A and B are shown apart, each in its own frame.
Chain A
C-alpha cells in the first residue's frame, strides 16, 4: 500500500514536471500567455488530481499547496519575473484559490464529481483573467476579503 501511495503521488507530479520542462524563460511563451495561464493550468490540474486521489477539504487544500512551487515556476516563466511581482502574484493566486475552494466547500460540501471540476475550472479561468488584467493590489485585497467572508459564512453555518 505504501508503494502504491508513493507511485500515485509521483504520477500526480509527473505531468506538472513535464509542463515545467516544456516551458522555460527563453521559450517566448510570455508573449502570448500571462502568469494567469499558469494559475489556471495548475489549479485545474490540482482539482483534477484531488478528484482522482479522492481528496476533499483540508486534504485538497494541502494538495493544492504542494503545487505552489510549480505555480511559482510557471508564473516566473510567463512574465512574473520580478521578485515583488511574483510574490504579489502568488499571494493573489493563493487568496483566490483558497476563496474558491472555501466557496465550493460552503456551497456543495458533499458534492464530488467531474461536473464540479468543470465548474471549478470555469471559476479558475475567471480568476486567471482577473490575475492577468487587474492590478495586484486589487486581486490580493479582493481575494483576501472574499476568503474572509466565505470563512465567516462557513463558521456561522457550522453548528
Chain B
C-alpha cells in the first residue's frame, strides 16, 4: 500500500505543483479581471457611448442666460441662447439616466425635420450635452432619447422662445443680415490637383469663394479603379484562354466543363470565386475612406477691402481625416468644405468654435466620437465661417 511519495518523486512533483498553482492563480486573476470588466460602465470599456465626464470635459463654458426646458416626465434640459448661424449646446438630464441613442432634431418652417446631433449614451449616463448648428430655417428643436425607464422626448419652440425674450436686438439683426448675404458657393467641378499656392484678387467674398473652391478637389480612387480594370483584363484573358482549351479538347469536353462535372471545371469555378473575392477585397481596401476638410481663410476679410493675396496650402492629417487648408485657419472669413464618406467625420474644433458665425449649405450633423464633437454630412457640405464674431 502506498502511503506517500518518495523524496525523488516529491522533488519532481514540486515544480509541477508550482506551475499548476501559478496557472490557477492566473486563471483566478483573469476571472476577477473579467468580473471587474463586467461591472465597469460600458463607457469605460471603450464603447462608442459618450460618458458624462467626457461630455463635460468637451463642453465649453456655458453661455449666458440658459433656458430651462421640461420634457417628458423625468427629463429636463437647459441650454441656449439658441441663435441662428451659431453652434448651440443643450444639456439634458434624465432621472433614470440615458441609455442608447440620443438625438436632437431640428424642425423646419416647411414641416421637414433634420437630424442635428447624434450620440450613443453609455450605461446610465445621467447628463448628455448635445452640440448642434442652427440656421434660420429651424423653427423648433426636438430631443429624443432612450432611458431604462422608457423613451424620453422634449420639444422647444425656438420662435416662441425668441418672442418671449423680446426678439433680436439691433446687433443680432445686423449679424443675421450679414450671414444671410453669405451664400456658400455651389460645388463646381474642381481641379484635378489643388494648387500649392492660391493667389486671389477678387472683389467680393462670393468670387473669392468660387476661386478657392475650385481647388477643393477630393482624391480620385485611382488605385481601386486600376485594380478593377486589371480584374476585367484578367477575366477577358481567362475567357479567351478557356475558349482555346475547350476548342482543343472538343465539344464534349466543353459541355462537361460547363457543367462543372470534371475536376478541371470545378477548379475553374473555384478560381473565378477566389479571383472575384480577392478583387472585391482589394477594391475595398484601396478605396479612400478618410473624411476631408478643405478650407480657405480669405486674406483681407478683416480689413473689409477686396479679397486679394496669396494663400499657401497646408496639409494636416488626423485619425480618420485629412485637412487641406489655404491661409491661416481660424481667422477672419473662412470658406470650408467637408466631405465625410461612410462613418468618417471631421473634428468640430477644426471648423468652428462657439463664438464663430457659420452658414452651411445644409445643417450639418454633429456626432460625439472618440471623446470629441465632430461633423458629418451625407453630401459634401460647404459653408462660411466668420471667426471670432463676438
Contacts and interface: CB of A to CB of B under 8 A. Distances in A.
Contact of A3 (B224, B240, B282): B240
B236 A25 contact: no
Nearest to B292: A26
Interface stretch (B80-88, B171-179, B191-199, B339-347): B339-347
A66 B272 contact: yes
Contacts of A17: 225, 228-229, 232
Contacts of B344: 81
Contacts of A68: 276-277, 279-280
A28 B379 contact: yes
A58 B259 contact: yes
B288 to A, nearest CB: 6
A90 interface: yes
Among A13, A25, A58, A90: residue with most chain B CB under 10 A: A25
Contacts of B187: 28
Nearest to A24: B221
Interface in A37-90: 58-59, 62, 65-66, 68-73, 76-77, 79, 81-83, 86, 90
Nearest to B265: A58
Contacts of A5: 236, 239-240, 243
A10 interface: yes
Contacts of A1: 243, 247
A25 B343 CA distance: 11
B258 interface: yes
B101 interface: no
Interface in B164-203: 187
B237 interface: yes
Interface in B208-246: 218-221, 224-225, 227-229, 231-233, 235-237, 239-240, 243-244
B261 to A, nearest CB: 10
Contacts of B281: 72
A25 B279 contact: no
B380 interface: yes
A10 B225 CA distance: 15
A31 interface: yes
Nearest to B227: A69
Interface in B114-153: none
B376 to A, nearest CB: 11
Interface string B264-307: 00000100110011011111100111001000000000000000
A21 B379 contact: no
B233 to A, nearest CB: 7
Nearest to A28: B379
Nearest to A62: B272
A contact residues, range? 35 or more
Contact of A20 (B225, B260, B272): B225
Nearest to B362: A31
A127 to B, nearest CB: 19
B379 A20 contact: no
A58 B279 CA distance: 21
Nearest to B276: A68
B289 A25 contact: yes
Contact of A26 (B218, B272, B273, B276): B218
Contacts of B339: 26, 28
Contacts of A7: 236
A79 B342 contact: yes
Nearest to B235: A66
Contacts of B228: 16-17, 20, 69-70, 73
A2 B380 contact: no
Given A13-B235, A76-B287, A69 B258 contact: no
Given A68-B277, A76-B284, A82-B342, A21 B380 contact: no
B213 to A, nearest CB: 14
A82 B273 contact: no
Given A17-B228, A81-B343, A86 B240 contact: no
A133 B283 CA distance: 25
Contact of B343 (A13, A73, A77, A82): A82
B194 to A, nearest CB: 13
Interface string A1-39: 111011111100110110011001110101110000000
18 contacts: A2-B243, A6-B239, A7-B236, A8-B239, A9-B239, A10-B236, A17-B225, A17-B228, A20-B228, A25-B287, A25-B342, A26-B292, A31-B378, A68-B277, A69-B231, A77-B341, A83-B284, A86-B284
What are the 8 tightest A-B residue pairs by CB atom distance, in nearest-first order? A81-B342, A26-B218, A13-B232, A31-B378, A25-B341, A31-B379, A72-B280, A69-B279
